[in-house]
């Protein structure tokens, strides 16, 4: 049996996504910048996808910039936003548990003269609001906080954070990395006070290599890619029509019967946590004293005492159980997780933690098989535990 439990890394595309992509590859393969019929048809796919996304977010289609994915969206928001507004100040605020696609652009900005404050979080990964407000000063131009943490599933109260930020200094730009949140929550940027929002297609059963950045009208952002002036110069380059069409279809499908999808995921998550807690020397991270429904529906972080995560990951993979030792984007460069350190996970568990993540395709049978494998593998591996 196969149990694919690495959906925070990527998801299997919906059948309807594959179908529309194949149509654009086989029939409607024109360049959307071309003036002839095939170009016009291709351009329609781009317009339709933007309209679907804009309608879903309750924003204007002109506020959507299509990108190559979450990393580009975050880079555009942070580097483009900071450079466009540096006359207003040079201070940026973020947290100690952001994804590398936020953390590394901010380090780049820090190395180029911007001042950065890295906020602490509590043991469940929640931003300390008083610390955030205290950090805001006259030079603060940008705050970037992720909606859902990709490693432990911590969820921030984005609307409340925005409200407090804007009360303290109304012209601060608030960027939200929603790459793990979009498709799991209904997100309305204007209502929630979000100025820029990053999303990636392959986290919502769309294709890889596509995403978008919502930029609120009047927010100044410098382009970071220059060329043929596509998308009004904000993101030059021939549009990835198959990916864009697939993204639009994925947005449409993930939000169909949305409440039922999310309820099913919470049921699976609750079941898995209850069962995995029956195993000896196990700790589920980010759920101390709070309800499972106060966390994201699809991510479970589990520390297994006495066993290196990489060893357990490969042992599970040999049995067809696919999980992650952290962020997929960093898996080729293993290092201790900044997120786990930020929430105070014990030192001996930092490299003993796996992430199990679910999707609308995940079944109870897959979870039972994964639990069966854990119960079989762990006693064997613990015979050779480190001392």
Q: Of the residues 54, 129, 329, 381, which is catalytic?
A: 329
Q: What is the rounded average pLDDT of the residues 147-173?
A: 97
Q: Which residues have a Cβ under 8 Å from the Cβ of 263 and sit 6 or more positions away? A: none
pLDDT tens by residue, 225-240 = 999 889 989 999 999 9
Give the residue from 233, 203, 243 showing the smallest Cα distance to 76: 233
pLDDT tens by residue, 32-91 = 999 999 999 999 999 999 999 999 999 999 999 999 999 999 999 999 999 999 999 999
User: CATH says 3-11+257-382 is which class?
Assistant: alpha beta
* Mean pLDDT of the residues in the chain: 95
Look at the alpha carbons of 258, 264, 266, 268 in this order and tell me if their dihedral is positive or negative: negative
Residue 324: pLDDT band (50, 70, 90) is very high
- Same fold flag, 3-11+257-382 and 15-254: no
In the block, residue with structure tokens 């609750």? 270
Residue 166: pLDDT band (50, 70, 90) is very high
pTM here is 0.95
Domain boundaries, the chain: 3-11+257-382, 15-254
Residue 297 annotated to the active site: no
Tokens coding 12: 């299997």
Domain 15-254 has CATH 3.40.640.10: yes
Q: Of 28-32, 142-146, 316-320, 337-341, which range is least confident?
A: 337-341
Instruction: Say if residue 293's pLDDT is above 70.
Output: yes
Instruction: Say if residue 326's pLDDT is above 70.
Output: no
Q: Which residues have a Cβ under 8 Å from the Cβ of 160 and sit 6 or more positions away? A: 129
Task: Tell me what percent of the residues of the chain surpass a pLDDT of 90.
Answer: 90
Instruction: Say if residue 332's pLDDT is above 70.
Output: no
Residue 308: pLDDT band (50, 70, 90) is very high
Q: What is the largest CA-CA distance in the chain?
A: 70
Residue 333: pLDDT band (50, 70, 90) is very low
Strands (E) located in the chain: 3-4, 64-67, 91-95, 115-119, 140-146, 173-177, 196-200, 211-215, 282-285, 299-304, 321-322, 353-357
What's the pLDDT score for residue 385?
62
What's the pLDDT score for residue 350?
87
Tokens coding 58: 């309750």
In the block, residue with structure tokens 């309209």? 51
Instruction: Say if residue 330's pLDDT is above 50.
Output: no
Distance CA 141, CA 137 (A): 9
For residues 141 and 172, is the Cβ–Cβ distance under 8 A?
Answer: yes
């Amino acid at each position: 049996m196969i149990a694919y439990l690495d959906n925070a890394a990527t998801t299997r595309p919906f059948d309807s996504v594959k179908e529309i992509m194949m149509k654009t590859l086989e029939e409607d393969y024109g360049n959307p910048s071309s003036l002839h019929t095939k170009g016009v048809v291709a351009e329609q796919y781009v317009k339709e996808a933007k309209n679907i996304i804009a309608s879903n977010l309750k924003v204007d289609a002109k506020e959507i910039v299509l990108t190559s994915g979450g990393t580009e969206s975050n880079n555009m928001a942070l580097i483009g936003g900071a450079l466009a507004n540096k006359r207003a100040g040079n201070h940026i605020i973020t947290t100690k548990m952001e994804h590398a696609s936020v953390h590394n652009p901010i380090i780049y900005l820090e190395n180029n003269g911007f001042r950065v404050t890295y906020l602490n979080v509590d043991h469940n990964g929640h931003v300390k609001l008083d610390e955030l407000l205290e950090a805001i000063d006259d030079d603060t131009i940008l705050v970037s906080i992720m909606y859902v943490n990709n490693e432990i599933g911590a969820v921030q109260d984005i609307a409340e954070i925005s409200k407090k930020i804007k009360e303290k200094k109304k012209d601060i730009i608030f960027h939200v990395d929603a790459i793990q949140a979009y498709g799991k929550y209904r997100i309305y940027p204007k209502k929630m006070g979000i100025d820029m929002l990053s999303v990636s297609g392959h986290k919502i059963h769309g294709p890889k290599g596509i995403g978008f950045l919502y930029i609120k009208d009047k927010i100044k952002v410098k382009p970071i890619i220059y060329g043929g002036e596509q998308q009004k110069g904000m993101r030059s380059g021939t549009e990835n029509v198959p990916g864009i069409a697939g993204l639009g279809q994925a947005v449409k499908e993930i939000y169909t019967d949305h409440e039922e999808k999310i309820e099913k995921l919470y049921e699976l998550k609750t079941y898995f946590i209850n069962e995995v807690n029956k195993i000896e020397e196990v700790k589920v991270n980010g759920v101390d004293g709070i309800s499972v429904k106060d966390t994201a529906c699809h991510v479970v972080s589990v520390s297994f005492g006495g066993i290196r995560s990489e060893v357990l990951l490969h042992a599970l993979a040999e049995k067809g159980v696919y999980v992650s030792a952290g962020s997929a984007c960093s898996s080729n460069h293993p290092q201790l997780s900044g997120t786990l350190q930020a929430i105070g996970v014990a030192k001996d568990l930092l490299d003993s933690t796996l992430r199990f993540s679910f999707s609308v395709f995940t079944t109870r049978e897959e979870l039972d098989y994964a639990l069966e494998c854990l119960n079989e593998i762990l006693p064997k591996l613990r015979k050779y535990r480190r001392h």
